[in-house]
């Protein structure tokens, strides 16, 4: 959190990135539940992996939106453009990872329970995180940055009523 605060020179923007994590956890635990698997140590390892992986996608969107804002682009356009431009890299890296864990999800043989658990956790978490974060991170960025801009801009002085 501190390193993100230093990177963005803000204590608020890292919260947008960290809000990507609950969506990944929701997907992971839902996938575990649907497959009838328990929340074991393998699931916990997968959850730790998801924290970094889901945050990575959010960092890409927020970082690019911040760069566009520094170039003078309005808030709404910067958020939409950042999501649009980073869509392909996010989908490519996420899809490569998701397809890479499919062998864990369908594993058989000795130790299959552990592989099923970690594979299902990261598979479900990344699928849900990738889909939801492409929409929610730009929206959260708009909401939080809009709120920050309104707080920073001084209120116009009230004009006295005519007598």
Mean pLDDT value of segment 75-102: 91
In a domain, 113, yes or no: yes
- What's the pLDDT at 1? 55
In a domain, 57, yes or no: yes
In a domain, 163, yes or no: no
In a domain, 24, yes or no: yes
Q: Which two tokens stand for residue 55?
A: 């945050």
Give the pLDDT confidence of 112-129 residue by residue, as tens digits: 888 888 999 999 999 999
State the virtual CA torsion across 5, 6, 8, 9 in degrees, nearest 10.
Answer: 100
CA distances (Å), 117 to each of 47, 85, 101, 159, in order?
A: 11, 34, 11, 65
- Note down the domain range covering 136: 2-148
Burial class (CB in 10 A: 0-12, 13-18, 19+), 75: middle
The overall average pLDDT reported for the chain is: 85
Structurally, how many domains does the chain consist of? 1
In a domain, 160, yes or no: no
Q: Are 134 and 87 in contact (CB under 8 A)?
A: yes
Q: Are 60 and 17 in contact (CB under 8 A)?
A: no
- Residue 99 pLDDT greater than 70, yes or no: yes
- What's the pLDDT at 95? 93
In a domain, 27, yes or no: yes
In a domain, 156, yes or no: no
Report the CATH number that the domain containing residue 118 is assigned in CATH. 1.20.1640.10
Q: Are 121 and 42 in contact (CB under 8 A)?
A: yes
Q: Largest alpha-carbon pair distance within the chain? A: 88
State the virtual CA torsion across 84, 89, 94, 100 in degrees, nearest 10.
Answer: 150
In a domain, 161, yes or no: no
Length of the chain: 163
């Amino acid at each position: 959190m501190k390193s993100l605060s230093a990177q963005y020179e803000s204590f608020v923007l890292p919260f947008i990135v960290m809000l990507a994590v609950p969506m990944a956890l929701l997907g992971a635990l839902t996938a575990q539940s649907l497959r009838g698997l328990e929340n074991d140590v393998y699931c916990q390892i997968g959850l730790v992996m998801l924290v970094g992986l889901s945050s990575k996608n959010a960092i890409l969107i927020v970082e690019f939106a911040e760069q566009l804002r520094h170039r003078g682009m309005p808030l709404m356009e910067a958020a939409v453009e950042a999501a649009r431009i980073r869509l392909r890299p996010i989908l490519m890296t996420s899809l490569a990872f998701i397809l890479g864990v499919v062998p864990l999800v369908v594993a058989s043989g000795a130790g299959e329970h552990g592989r099923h658990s970690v594979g299902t956790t990261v598979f479900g978490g990344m699928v849900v995180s990738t889909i939801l974060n492409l929409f929610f991170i730009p929206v959260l960025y708009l909401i939080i940055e809009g709120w920050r801009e309104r707080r920073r801009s001084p209120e116009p002085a009230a004009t006295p009523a005519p007598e």
